[in-house]
Amino acid sequence: MTTESLPAAAVDVRAVTREFGTVTALSGVDLTVAAGEFVSLIGPSGCGKSTLLRLIADLDRPTSGQVSVFGRSAEQARLAHDYGIAFQQAGLLPWRTVRANIELPLSLHGVGRAGRRERATEMLDLVGLTEFADHFPDQLSGGMQQRVAIARALAERPSLLLMDEPFGALDEMTRERLQSELVRICAETRAAVVFVTHSIPEAVFLSDRVVVMSPRPGRIADVVPVRLGAGDRDDGLREDRAYFDAVTAVREALHGGVTGTPRGVETR
């Protein structure tokens, strides 16, 4: 395959710096995320993880450098609905049912009633909430609300999903269950994902690569490949030696350790 025939990267960040007055949040960041790849951003509070995600989403603009999504500018990608986005708070409209919340972006972009209903039905089945279609958000648990938010983010079939600590406010049991659900959903949709988290185990469980960021000004300090096998990422993986080895590798990269731990440990 020639270079010219290679598909455009889902995300391509080149020499990006973001300054807020006298504060430099990001400095000289380079990052490429391949189509279909799951990449987590991890680092200390204030290192610019969420800022980088917002630049990719065109919710903010870099002071210098370039951001492209599937070969177009971040602004063009936003206007073309190339990505879906989910935040720590589900952000559902309380007066709309679950189905109506999922249909909202489709409605805003002119999809007809029959098309909206069909797609919402597909998304409800994907996130396992078919029987709750006519419920309102305050009738759902926090974890269920986040599943609705993910379904809404995927409603327009984006090729990229941007997620900013979507499970951060959940209890550990619900969080692990939704991590497993997200692995399944990504396998089915084949969307690329950029995922912000403070949790090392979460980053390892979900990701193909973990991008470790430095304290402010945020730079990419290390990239840890995690080759655990997408099809094998069930709850049993959390007890696997290779999983623990990968968690250790990310922790040591996060703390600046140099141990010689091999990158990309594979399950046996």
Q: What is the pLDDT of residue 257?
A: 43
Last residue of a domain, one of 157, 176, 191: 157
Helix (H) or strand (E) holding 51: helix 49-56
Q: What is the pLDDT of residue 255?
A: 87
Reported as a single tens digit per residue, the pLDDT across 84-141 is 898 888 889 999 999 999 999 898 888 898 999 999 999 898 888 999 999 999 999 9
**96 assigned to some structural domain:** yes
Average pLDDT over residues 157-166: 90
**87 assigned to some structural domain:** no
CA distances for 10 relative to 71, 109, 205, 206, angstroms? 8, 22, 21, 18
Whether the per-residue pLDDT at 73 is higher than 60: the answer is yes
Whether the per-residue pLDDT at 48 is higher than 70: the answer is yes
From the list 69, 74, 83, the residue with the least C-alpha distance to 33 is: 69
Both 195 and 78 in one domain: the answer is: yes
Q: What is the pLDDT of residue 10?
A: 94
**191 assigned to some structural domain:** yes
Average pLDDT over residues 230-251: 83
Q: Give the total number of structural domains in the chain.
A: 2
Both 231 and 263 in one domain: the answer is: yes
Whether the per-residue pLDDT at 265 is higher than 50: the answer is no
Query: Minimum mean pLDDT among 81-85, 184-188, 200-204, 236-240: which range?
Result: 236-240
Give CA–CA dist 97/117, Å, rounded: 12
Mean pLDDT for the chain? 87
Structural domain containing residue 181: 7-82+159-268
Give CA–CA dist 6/73, Å, rounded: 18
